[in-house]
Structure 1
Amino acid sequence: MKAVTQLSKKNLTQTRSRSILIGISIMLTTALLTIIGLSCNGIMKMNSHNSSVLYGDFHAAFTGISEEKKQEISVRGEIEKTGSMSSVATVELGKASGVLSYYDQNARAMSNLKMTGQSRIPTGENEIMVQKSFFKKLMKKKPKIGDTVTVPYRINGEGTVLRKKFTITGFLPDSEMNDLKQAYGAVVSKEFFEKAVPVEQRSYTLCVKMKKADKVTENGLKESINQLAEKLSIPEKNVSLNTIFIMWDTDPGAETVAAGVFIAAVVILFSIVVIYNIFYVGMIQKVQEYGKLRAIGMTKKQMKQMIFREGMILSGISIPVGLIVGYFGTDLFFTKIAGFSSVNESINEAIANTQLFSIPVLAGAGILSLITVCLSVKRPMQIAAKVSPVEAVRYQENTGKKKQKRKGCRQVKLIGLTRANLSSNRKRTLMTILTMGLSCVMFVTIANLCGNMDPAYEAKKDVKKGDFYLTLDTKLDDKTYPEKNLNRVQEQGLMNASVVEKIKKIDGVTRVETGKWAAVKVRGNEEEGTSVIQILSKKDFNAFVKSGLERGSADYEQLVKESGTVYLWDHFFDENGYHIGDKISMDLLDGERKVPLTLKITGSANAHLEASWAMTEETFKKLRVKGNLTSEIYISCLPEKKTAVEKQLRNLTGGSEFYDLLSYDDAYRTAQLGIGLLRDSLYALLFVIGIIGFMNMANTLITSIVTRKKELGILQALGMTNRQLARMLQMEGLIFTAGTLLISLTFGNAAGYMLFLKCKDTGMIGINDYHFPMAEILVMAGILLMLQILLSAFMSRKLQKDSLVERIRYEE
């Protein structure tokens, strides 16, 4: 046995260049497997240990809960603990808005309410804690702890405007998202809440954490929460599940386990195929050498043992190095892999505190690499063990049991030599293209998702047309200040023809479009209260409503003919007792007048509009409406004039509190913040996959050239020039690249499109219209081509450093 081991070591030292290439391949593959394993484990650990910090320490939130119902819920045996919060009052800050809220101790802990610096929770009636941006809106100066500020507020958004002096006890963290949306939150004391809101008017949001959550599955816990809500007579729309926290706080459900097993199986299978191909290409041409050993008496068993030990020696050196490199690589890039984002400090802190080192994961990666090496050397072992000593000495890659005839050529061209080399062992060529193609298939699949995550689609939900969206910011059913309701504000003519003309005359404005809203009350449905119906042209109806249709019909001509309407919040369609084909009676509010109308419900949609109903312009024209119901204006302008136009629009609208101006650029930035985290993590995965594909291609090309050193030397001795040699090697690489692209584009795009459809069905942010990811694929193709050219050029130069005599005398 010692002789076999010595032969293995001697063979490795004699073929040092090939051994180094195989060792590097094993090391890098192990490192990549380690990075994938540690990163996945780190993300799981981070979410498991920090899920309460990141997503809140509660399983569900029940909204609209009365004081009596709150007491009933708090004593339920299924519930471990509850925390209550309540929106006490609203604050109007010009174009911005704020909410004064009360949190009890449990709610503060369960929702991870953050404070900065020396802040403390308000305890006195006149104390408040809020974001600095909120105070700046009120004080017009930089606030500090201990300052007093007068806050105008309305209890529960209703009643008269009250003013009260508060003392600042601290600050909540500022948020870019809050600044973009101009919406802020403030915390007030229990004393203020109880004095400001009578018991019968109090409405709570209750954070609920269930008992024994870790003993049930994700789906089981969700079902238990919904059943509890049903027992407590809490409407479905008032139940909000903390889905991500539930996922990490329970044993994974069947779907989660299936997804995890699938991803693990793909990674393992891909790794096995890659390493197998690397070993197969590197060792298949050593059979002749092993045949000489068979001829002098080595048995089949010893032959297998010698080849196996070569693999084990290389693994024993390369795998530990790969584990070390993989660990430090994970430690270096984990923040990127996990989706580092300065927008969320809690996520950053959770990532920084995650312990990446894991003995089971490192052991698993090492064992996996060892298994793949064992599988990879199996075929070369069988080839050398099965042939007779005489046949092994004469062994060539393209020999087999079937007798082959060799065809001669009058002229030998470079393309013929290239084709002959690749076809001499079709299996090796096909396996190389297949394994390279698999890595690129994964790239193309994910690129189909990343390339279609469009922040513009999300932004268009807020600013559907043009560069600016000017609308009326009003109430619907304010009984204390009815002049703030939509129908009364419309009487002020804030968007009449003269205003539209002023906007059109602004330098740089290229197009102005208007839209109409009307406040309506559906007779016999008091729960819906006052809602909004939007009057749309055929073009806008098809663009905004028809595209989001869930049931029924949104055919414009049918709607005109039948005086039809489409309900725009499909989730609440059944809950409100509506049915397709029903006729509903409404009162359209034209100022203080009521215009009766009867419409037929033809469909239900999720249209991302601010209205509840949609009707056609033709139907609206039949009504005798006297007022101007224009309530929204879309403004397009020249790109270079955008800043100047926005400034003039704000000057024009600054005279009324009811104007609300939103720019497309602001909406786009808001969408980017949401998409950025997910996209960055996916691109980090693409980076890892790209390294795997590159190492496989590099090893295949380099090994193929090194093992043909003698053959190439003979060709040059017969007259092949250095330039022709370089061109031949480039053509071989191009064939590998072309085959790889063919596989990746065919299977990758098919899998990518299926993934896109699945993500679209689940409502993933930014996913709507499918576009072929041309840019990503061109980048991938360019990188493959560039690497192939560089590798071929490098090996060509390396070969040319040796003299022809040395190359011809070269023995592997």
Structure 2
Amino acid sequence: MNIVNKLTIRHLKQNKRRTLVTIIGVIISVAIIMAVTTLGISFLDLMKRQTIANEGEWHVLYKDVNKEQLEAIKSDEDSKKVILTKDLGYAYLAGSQNENKPYLFIKAYNSEGLQNFPIELSRGKLPKAENEVVLSEEIVNNARVEYKLGDQIKLQAGERQITNQEGLLVLSQTDPLQTENGKIIETLEEKKTENYTVVGIMKRPEWEPTWSPGYTIITYIEDSKIGAEDKTDAAVILKKVNRSLYAHGEEFAENNKINKVYFNNNLLRYYGVTNNDNLNATLFSLSAVIMTVIIVGSVSLIYNAFAISVSERSRHLGMLSSVGATKRQKRNSVFFEGFVIGVISIPIGILGGLAGLSITFLFINSIIQGALGVTQKLEVTLTPMTIFIACGVSILTIFISTYIPAIRASKISAIDAIRQTSDVKLTGKAVKTSKLIRKLFGFEAEIGLKNLKRNKRRYKATVFSLIISIVLFLAVSFFTDHLKKSLVLSQDGINYDLQVSLNSKESADDVKLIQSFANLDNVTESNFTRKIRNVNSWIEETSITDILKDSVKNDKSILKDGKYPYYINLISLDEENLRSYAQTAGVEYEKLLNQDQFAAIVIDTIPYEDNEAEKFVEMKAVYKEIGDVIELNYMDTLTGKEEYLNQVVVAGLTGQHPMGVMPAGPGGLNLIVSEDVMEKIVGENNVMDIQTALFLKSSDPMETQEKIEELKESYMYVFNIYLGRQQEEQTIMIMSVFTYGFIVLITAISIANIFNTISTSISLRKREFAMLKSVGMTPKGFNKMINYESIFYGIKSLLYGLPISVVVMYLIHQSLMNSFSFKFTLPWIDIIFVIAAVFIIVGAAMLYSSAKVKRENIIDALKQESI
């Protein structure tokens, strides 16, 4: 070790407080980087494990392959495991008590499939032969026939079929039972009879759709017994998961004449793999923006630790220069200081980031599992790449942070360093202030402003720290809000657990019975709706949505007298829900009760997936103003004639959907009215085609469904879509935990950054404050000076920080626009919060730091050489 490096280490030991502050700053910065990267990986790992637990593990699915194609799949060098799965068809369930589930759905897996798909046994064992079967607990509970282990059952399996205008259609497990006026209109074409032995009872599979008409039962398929003409599905678990799997899968299918190939995008997206170019662009650009924000924040935190004390260090460097140190040696002295601090701080920062995450996960896991019902725990997932990124970014950050001070140090001459002329500007022009400042705020404010001008480097470092803190907070909060909005747009919009509907002509007793279900135990929220179907309206071309305007330009024949045909969902809500919904939409509830002029709330903003642009879009469904009139027509399905129904006045416009009301697509419109208005319209026109439905949220949807099944009439239908909604809420909630955790972390770091910068700056000004006190400045005057300095810091940082934040937020918005489309809006509440927080935090930091300075002895402070 050369003499300059030895002197650098000695100097670090002498100035223990400054060295400790710098080390703490670097540790916090490294901990941030480590925590953020690990948190992202851990979150993706949780979603990956939860998806596998719910839906099974597979990456590529080849449909209807024969034996030769199956051998090719197994021989493919990318295939790690090959799961055979085959849908053997439907069979009638003897004694089924659920009218919406009259079938058994027979599904076969090979041994790999039984291991990798989530099949949870309650008792018994998994099938090991083709004549063995595992039944669902739901079958045991809902069939009048008692099934137990060892029972022999005979099943005649076949296809569900229905004939419609397009001809014969074969139905799958995702298609609900086809009924009309309470009667089943589909048929079961039996093809094969099999005898099975019940060897196990399992819990209802998570991947079985709740609306499916068949209870799933699992049997076994032997790879070696597949004949040359047999067809089966092959799901492949790949050795390596990367983006090339899409091209490889399609190419492999084409080369081996496989007609259908599917990819498990629900799982692959958590590997960071997608075949959507827009989504890739979104992910990469978002990652770039967020990582840049984090790096800049980290650089500012570490840079301030070096830069703000450069005037104190300059005397030491000047002494080195006076005894013959070269520019290179002085520059390397600063780099060596960064190296020493990095060697100490980086390992501690990495361990600190991991320890902080571990403790956080320990506390929030029980909350997440209890609130969301997820089976997997959030675990700290550490990968070599995570450590490499954290170390690499930290080293780069320290280098950038020390580079400018190092270059500045190399240029310091011995005389300037000893006299400190480069840091303190004493020319009249440099410290000149406006006379207005003294008149408005007094002498103390002028002194405070002159202090800032005299110590421009410290002042700029503090302001820079504040600007970075403002940008960090606003960028991350904006990112969080828009990420949640994007997730909501990409989801199906399911906001209820159970739907009880009545499609036939209703009676007062029917309505009363359905409404009574809202009073069942476990029901937490309900919404009773009635909807008139087969209603349309002719909307002026100038008012239709932009997508339809493009269609009209290509084909004017769509219009009739310059108007476009919209389908209308005219929906009434019960009094309690309508009152609450009206308040949300900003509409006076009494307006919706006026029967002389029918009023409606129009849902004019809808989410929409544009398949051509591969984007999720938030679009205007119609361009209408409050007070406009919408004429309604009713299409009689028997005669095919369109008859005038009535007209409604637009009382309010909103993008909020009541529970159970799904977004209309382009060319459709949801109109929300009161029950009184609905009764008036129905009564006057004798409208028959009405759908009555009750939508429920329940703390135990399965138990609630069972109670409803016991009470309902045969022509009432119950749909349990709890699992689908739960999966959406899990995704949004877990993402919220991740992003809001990020906000808390960034906020804490920003506050620490400001306190660190200001406290260090105040500590370096001890002699300056002692001099002011020595010439007669009172404690009251000193406090006023500090307060005004705080105000100047806040105003200057906001003048720069807010515009920069807007630019960063716009870049984040543009990144999201690769996959979504909605307007850029400024988060005014967050901006107001930041403005208030800046002055509060700066004021608190200044008062805290100056309070310590006040206790210093004037003589000792004037003599002080180090901190």
Structure 1 length-normalised TM: 0.67
1:169 match: secondary structure: strand
Write out aligned runs for 1:22-171 (5 A).
Answer: 22-39=22-39, 56-61=56-61, 65=64, 70-71=66-67, 73-76=69-72, 80=79, 81=82, 83-86=84-87, 88-89=89-90, 94=98, 100-105=105-110, 108-109=113-114, 112-116=117-121, 118-122=123-127, 129=134, 132=137, 135-137=140-142, 156=160, 158-159=186-187, 167=198, 169-171=200-202
Do the aligned partners of 1:214 and 1:249 also contact (CA within 8 Å) in 2?
no
| 2:330 corresponds to 1:272 | no
Partner residue in 1 for 2:314: 287
From the superposition, tell whether residues 123 and 446 of structure 1 become closer, same or farther in structure 2 (CA, over 3 Å): same
Do the aligned partners of 2:475 and 2:809 also contact (CA within 8 Å) in 1?
yes
Looking at structure 2, the residues matched to 727 and 278 of structure 1 have their Cα atoms a distance apart, in angstroms, of 27
1:189 match: secondary structure: strand
Match of 2:415 among 379, 383, 390: 390
Do the aligned partners of 1:18 and 1:706 also contact (CA within 8 Å) in 2?
no
Looking at structure 2, the residues matched to 253 and 504 of structure 1 have their Cα atoms a distance apart, in angstroms, of 45
Do the aligned partners of 1:102 and 1:188 also contact (CA within 8 Å) in 2?
yes
**How far has the Cα of 1:712 moved from its partner?**
1.6
Structure 1: give runs of 5+ residues left out of the alignment: 192-198, 473-489, 518-533, 574-587, 598-606
Partner residue in 2 for 1:356: 382
**How far has the Cα of 1:86 moved from its partner?**
1.7
- Cα deviation 1:758-792 (Å, max 9, x = unaligned): 546636xxx96776545555665666555434433
**How far has the Cα of 1:105 moved from its partner?**
1.1
From the superposition, tell whether residues 135 and 762 of structure 1 become closer, same or farther in structure 2 (CA, over 3 Å): farther
Write out aligned runs for 1:776-791 (5 A).
Answer: 784-791=838-845
2:85 match: secondary structure: strand
**How far has the Cα of 1:26 moved from its partner?**
1.6
Match of 1:703 among 748, 754, 760: 760
Do the aligned partners of 1:89 and 1:100 also contact (CA within 8 Å) in 2?
yes
Which shifted more, 338-347 or 102-111? 338-347
From the superposition, tell whether residues 96 and 383 of structure 1 become closer, same or farther in structure 2 (CA, over 3 Å): same
**How far has the Cα of 1:17 moved from its partner?**
1.9
Partner residue in 1 for 2:452: 422
Partner residue in 2 for 1:245: 268
- Cα deviation 1:239-274 (Å, max 9, x = unaligned): 455364388498999958955677656644553344
Looking at structure 2, the residues matched to 745 and 762 of structure 1 have their Cα atoms a distance apart, in angstroms, of 27
Partner residue in 1 for 2:592: none
- Which AA in structure 2 matches 1:115? E
Partner residue in 2 for 1:516: 532
- Identity, % of aligned pairs? 16
- Cα deviation 1:26-80 (Å, max 9, x = unaligned): 22222223334444566678899999778754333356x4xxx555753556865
- Which AA in structure 2 matches 1:788? V
**How far has the Cα of 1:705 moved from its partner?**
0.6
| 2:862 corresponds to 1:808 | yes
Write out aligned runs for 1:434-583 (5 A).
Answer: 434-452=464-482, 453=484, 461-462=493-494, 471-472=501-502, 492-493=504-505, 495=506, 514-517=530-533, 534-536=534-536, 546=545, 552=551, 558=559, 564=565
- Cα deviation 1:602-649 (Å, max 9, x = unaligned): xxxxx96699996999xxx9xxx998211245899xx9xxx9xx99x9
Partner residue in 2 for 1:692: 749
Q: Aligned Cα RMSD in Å? A: 6.0
Do the aligned partners of 1:152 and 1:161 also contact (CA within 8 Å) in 2?
no
- Which AA in structure 1 matches 2:202? F
- Which AA in structure 1 matches 2:304? N
Do the aligned partners of 1:101 and 1:186 also contact (CA within 8 Å) in 2?
yes
Partner residue in 1 for 2:852: 798
From the superposition, tell whether residues 417 and 662 of structure 1 become closer, same or farther in structure 2 (CA, over 3 Å): farther
- Cα deviation 1:373-411 (Å, max 9, x = unaligned): 344333334334324322222224555799946548788
Do the aligned partners of 2:425 and 2:454 also contact (CA within 8 Å) in 1?
no
Which shifted more, 208-217 or 431-440? 208-217
From the superposition, tell whether residues 801 and 45 of structure 1 become closer, same or farther in structure 2 (CA, over 3 Å): same
- Cα deviation 1:578-606 (Å, max 9, x = unaligned): xxxxxxxxxx995xx67599xxxxxxxxx
Partner residue in 2 for 1:224: 251
- Which AA in structure 2 matches 1:390? I
**How far has the Cα of 1:102 moved from its partner?**
0.6
Looking at structure 1, the residues matched to 430 and 546 of structure 2 have their Cα atoms a distance apart, in angstroms, of 64
Partner residue in 1 for 2:586: none
Aligned length: 710
1:88 match: secondary structure: strand
Structure 2: give runs of 5+ residues left out of the alignment: 161-176, 178-185, 222-227, 520-524, 569-607, 614-634, 643-660, 672-680
| 2:691 corresponds to 1:631 | yes
Looking at structure 2, the residues matched to 378 and 612 of structure 1 have their Cα atoms a distance apart, in angstroms, of 56
Looking at structure 2, the residues matched to 139 and 89 of structure 1 have their Cα atoms a distance apart, in angstroms, of 19
Looking at structure 2, the residues matched to 790 and 130 of structure 1 have their Cα atoms a distance apart, in angstroms, of 66
- Which AA in structure 1 matches 2:341? L
Partner residue in 2 for 1:380: 405
Match of 1:325 among 352, 365, 388: 352
2:740 match: secondary structure: helix
**How far has the Cα of 1:432 moved from its partner?**
3.8
Looking at structure 1, the residues matched to 517 and 37 of structure 2 have their Cα atoms a distance apart, in angstroms, of 58
- Which AA in structure 2 matches 1:680? V
- Cα deviation 1:399-441 (Å, max 9, x = unaligned): 5799946548788533323322333344553444344433543
Partner residue in 2 for 1:577: none
Partner residue in 2 for 1:7: 7
Match of 2:782 among 725, 731, 734: 725
Looking at structure 1, the residues matched to 390 and 138 of structure 2 have their Cα atoms a distance apart, in angstroms, of 49
1:279 match: secondary structure: helix
Looking at structure 1, the residues matched to 18 and 111 of structure 2 have their Cα atoms a distance apart, in angstroms, of 64
From the superposition, tell whether residues 398 and 717 of structure 1 become closer, same or farther in structure 2 (CA, over 3 Å): same
1:113 match: secondary structure: coil
Instruction: Give the number of the structure whose residues are more often helix, by fraction.
Output: 1
**How far has the Cα of 1:700 moved from its partner?**
0.8
Do the aligned partners of 1:107 and 1:207 also contact (CA within 8 Å) in 2?
no
**How far has the Cα of 1:655 moved from its partner?**
1.9
Do the aligned partners of 1:122 and 1:129 also contact (CA within 8 Å) in 2?
yes
Which shifted more, 309-318 or 407-416? 407-416
From the superposition, tell whether residues 373 and 635 of structure 1 become closer, same or farther in structure 2 (CA, over 3 Å): closer
- Which AA in structure 1 matches 2:61? A
Do the aligned partners of 1:337 and 1:685 also contact (CA within 8 Å) in 2?
no
- Which AA in structure 1 matches 2:27? M
From the superposition, tell whether residues 718 and 740 of structure 1 become closer, same or farther in structure 2 (CA, over 3 Å): same
Instruction: Give the number of the structure whose residues are more often strand, by fraction.
Output: 2
Which shifted more, 69-78 or 318-327? 69-78
- Which AA in structure 2 matches 1:715? L
Do the aligned partners of 2:466 and 2:754 also contact (CA within 8 Å) in 1?
yes
Do the aligned partners of 1:39 and 1:337 also contact (CA within 8 Å) in 2?
no
2:757 match: secondary structure: helix
Looking at structure 1, the residues matched to 527 and 381 of structure 2 have their Cα atoms a distance apart, in angstroms, of 56
Looking at structure 2, the residues matched to 403 and 793 of structure 1 have their Cα atoms a distance apart, in angstroms, of 29
- Which AA in structure 2 matches 1:272? V
- Which AA in structure 2 matches 1:304? R
- Cα deviation 1:339-396 (Å, max 9, x = unaligned): 99538999726x54x76264x7546644543443344333334334324322222224
- Cα deviation 1:697-751 (Å, max 9, x = unaligned): 2221111110011112222334434344345434434544455555554343444
Looking at structure 2, the residues matched to 248 and 681 of structure 1 have their Cα atoms a distance apart, in angstroms, of 17
From the superposition, tell whether residues 781 and 218 of structure 1 become closer, same or farther in structure 2 (CA, over 3 Å): farther
- Which AA in structure 2 matches 1:514? R
Do the aligned partners of 1:726 and 1:792 also contact (CA within 8 Å) in 2?
no
**How far has the Cα of 1:225 moved from its partner?**
6.5
Do the aligned partners of 1:457 and 1:768 also contact (CA within 8 Å) in 2?
no
From the superposition, tell whether residues 676 and 444 of structure 1 become closer, same or farther in structure 2 (CA, over 3 Å): same
